[in-house]
Amino acid sequence: MAEVIQTLPLEDVIGDRFGRYSKYIIQERALPDVRDGLKPVQRRILYSMFSSGNTYDKNFRKSAKTVGDVIGHLHPHGDSSVYDAMVRLSQDWKLRHLLVEMHGNNGSIDNDPPAAMRYTEAKLSQLSEQLLRDLNKGTVDFVPNYDDTQMEPMVLPARLPNLLINGSTGISAGYATDIPPHNLAEVITATLKLIDNPDMTVKQLMKYIKGPDFPTGGIIQGIDGIQKAYETGKGKVIVRAKAETETLRNGRSQIVIAEIPYEVNKGSLVKKIDELRADKKVEGIVEVRDETDRSGLRVAIELKKDVNATSILNYLYKNTDLQVAYNFNMVAISEGRPKLMGIKQIIDCYLNHQIEVVSRRTRYDLKHAEERMHIVEGLMKALSILDEVIALIRESKNKRDAKENLVATYDFTDAQAEAIVMLQLYRLTNTDIVALQEEHDALANKIKDLQYILEDHNALLDVIKNELSEIKKQFKDARLSTIEAEIAEIKIDKEVLVPSEVVMVSVTREGYIKRTSLRSFNASGKEEIGLKVDDYVLKYMEVNTQDTALVFTNKGRYLSIPVHKLPDIKWKDLGQHISQLAVIDEDEVIVDYDVVSAFDDHEAIITATRNGMIKMTTLSNYKTARHCKPLVAMKLKDDDVVISAMRTQITETEQLVTLLTHKGMSLTYPIAELPTTGIRTGGVKAINLKAEDHVVMVDLVGRQDTILIATQRGALKRISFKVLQEAKRAQRGITLLKELKKQPHRIVAAVVCREADVHYQLVSDEAVHDGQINKIHLSEQYTNGSFVVDTATFGEIKDLFISK
């Protein structure tokens, strides 16, 4: 051979070769044909089994023999690819109606590999006979195989719409397909209706085809997604497992999964659920057991006592493959090219294929009936002159001479003469003449019917309808998947995610926050809390890990922090600064915090500012999904800052709020004076301030309470509720401190005291001179405990000073 070297640009060569390769794998490998719903390898497997007589009414045959036949004659690829395709045709969790029956281990829903092909046996299923029926009657075109040694069908006659019934999945170059399986009876019913009414809409078709019908059952949600997919070829639905709750003898309950979503690996699913239990991502699961046996799929999830099974199941739906999204992408090969098709287009393509198949079969049957009719007429003519024919044959030299004499003497055709000379002696009886006459009449009627089918299109459609109805009657079964119109919203209770545990949460003035177990708190003692120098505890509370902490800052913002997300730190350790949990300004400090179990409209937060603004907002407004991020709690003007945030019951309208200012003014009024506003508002005027005055304290006050006041001169004053006067909001108020000409007292700190024997703590700041007080803390606010430098009871109160 002469060597020919071509010089070509690399990009042209690669582009041309990849184009050829892409065309091949699109048309000849990964995508199914819209007419029979099969990929080439599947079609070759079925054809090879059919042509070798490996049918449903025969004995099983070794899979290795079938694989060898397919590779040797039709599909020159690896044996594993052929065997894998053959095994899939026999898996009842992959196909809605099996096309191959297999003896032996053919894999499992846990994705276990099947036994080697030398161990398994297979044959065609009864339904696959309907795909191959009439194959030998010229119903489809045949093409040469890969080595031109035999012919193979381009497509199967497919007497049922297999593409929709069994679905398909595949990936090729630039194309992919995902067609779900459907119920056979529903698909055939819709096809019959479409034959009668070709103008049916997709919505009308959906009266008969409710939606996909997966072999693994499950619940399909989202009828709008189904309709969109049926109209355009693309759509999305949610498929979730079917689950029931059972009660056990020990008082516990368990969730039992009986059906899982299509193409979900059960083994991986069980493993994932057990990992969630082991990692404590979900609380309440005791054990996960795979109890699947030959009677059916069963996964048991045993729960702890008094656990909400619905919440656990919702969490598993959201975080495991107990619920998955199924995306329709109905691409199939139509007229030699890939097309995205809706359900009506798929059925139309199938019907056009059936019209051609039945037409070709009818012509084939008509041709053979006419040929047989011709022979029968010749035999009848020969029997009518039997003696002459016998004499003529006896006088002939040989068979060929006898045939020529019959044609020349009695005007028989070659075919008739061949049939006469091959006639057996027993056929020369009177009874055979009657049989020939009966056969002649039957053939005449058959030819008439076949001609009518070919001449009348409606008669041809009736044939298709009758055959489809017979298949439906023989193979129909009930739906396995349930259709639900709407996609259910998944609501997960936080009790499922977070273990219920009572802990201590503390916050300091410097902004250090921590969560501490009761064990650490009780072991250390409340006075041994870890603090920085000059820092003090703002508040500590006994709360639940399922609660949410609301932390308010002086800049009118708040942080919503789930308690379980707070750092778990020992009581003696310092804690974590709030800036490590959320991004806040350098000069932003914590004013107060509270812990909420439920955000409802029965409670509210009252916030007040230094410049005399106040607002009340219901607790439900503070609920947010943006945890650990600063959010607006109160809109502030100019250089104003929040000095107080307190929680109250809205229904208790008799509660009183009291304000004290720097210059000694006091105003008290019911909370009914405060309008309920939104979270981003600036509030209303709380008190009418004098020039250069500002609010020092805002708090709720009861009729049995007293107020402890500290001044800049280090003086303490205790005021009874009787001194206060109820008034209206935004008034000037009454004077609590006598105005002195020299060094007048100014209030720097005040607190409402709700018990007579409560301890107090006085705190000074480095910026304040010795002997001055800028903060008062009372232990009553901290569950009858306090961390103090100096303490005293009210009975011992005098003009006390505390140095730095």
SS3 per residue for 105-116: CCCCCCCCCCCC
Residue pair 331/339 in contact by the 8 Å Cβ criterion: yes
CB 45 within 8 A of CB 128: no
Question: Does residue 678 come out as left (phi exceeding 0), alpha (psi in the -120 to 50 range) or beta?
Answer: beta
Give me the phi and psi of 675, to 5 degrees please: -75, 150
DSSP 621-678: GG--S-TTS-EESS---TT--EEEEEEEETT-TT-EEEEEETTSEEEEEEGGGSPB--
Active-site residue numbers?
119
What φ, ψ does residue 715 adopt, rounded to 5°?
A: -90, 145
Q: At what angle do helices 430-455 and 457-475 cross, to 10 degrees?
A: 100
Evaluate whether 59 touches 132 at the Cβ level (below 8 Å).
no
Rg (CA), the chain: 45
- What is the C-alpha to C-alpha distance for residues 96 and 180, in angstroms, rounded to an integer? 9
Which among 216, 301, 221, 214 has a CA at the least distance from the CA of 256? 301
Distance CA 449, CA 416 (A): 24
Q: Give 647's contacts (C-beta < 8 A, 6+ positions apart).
A: 594, 603, 604, 605, 606, 619
CA 521 to chain centre: 44
Alpha helices in 134-198 (DSSP H): 162-166, 184-196
C-alpha torsion 466→469→475→477, nearest 10:
180
